[in-house]
Amino acid sequence: MASKQISVGIGIPMIIVGVILAFLLAPMQADLKDTVEFVGSLIGILGVIIFITGLFSRKVTVITS
């Protein structure tokens, strides 16, 4: 069972913020363009990884003795 809280709550917002930084805000910065693109891409890639992790995570039942 997928964890919707991880995928929707963390993964998708990070992807959106990464896209906004890399494609919309980076061209506005003259001297920091490369840095802003790098940070935006990094946030987007981490968001994709967290989104995929949320798809594969599942609740583990605790076995008590």
pLDDT tens for 9-60 read: 889 999 999 999 888 888 888 888 889 899 999 999 999 999 998 888 877 7
Predicted pLDDT at 7? 82
Examine the pLDDT at 1 and tell me if it is beyond 70.
no
Location of structure tokens 């963390």 = 10
Examine the pLDDT at 2 and tell me if it is beyond 80.
no
Query: Rounded to whole angstroms, how far apart are CA atoms 45 and 48?
Result: 5
Mind giving me the DSSP string for 1-59?
Answer: ---HHHIIIIIHHHHHHHHIIIIIIGGG-SSSHHHHHHHHHHHHHHHHHHHHHHHH--P
Higher pLDDT, 16 or 65: 16
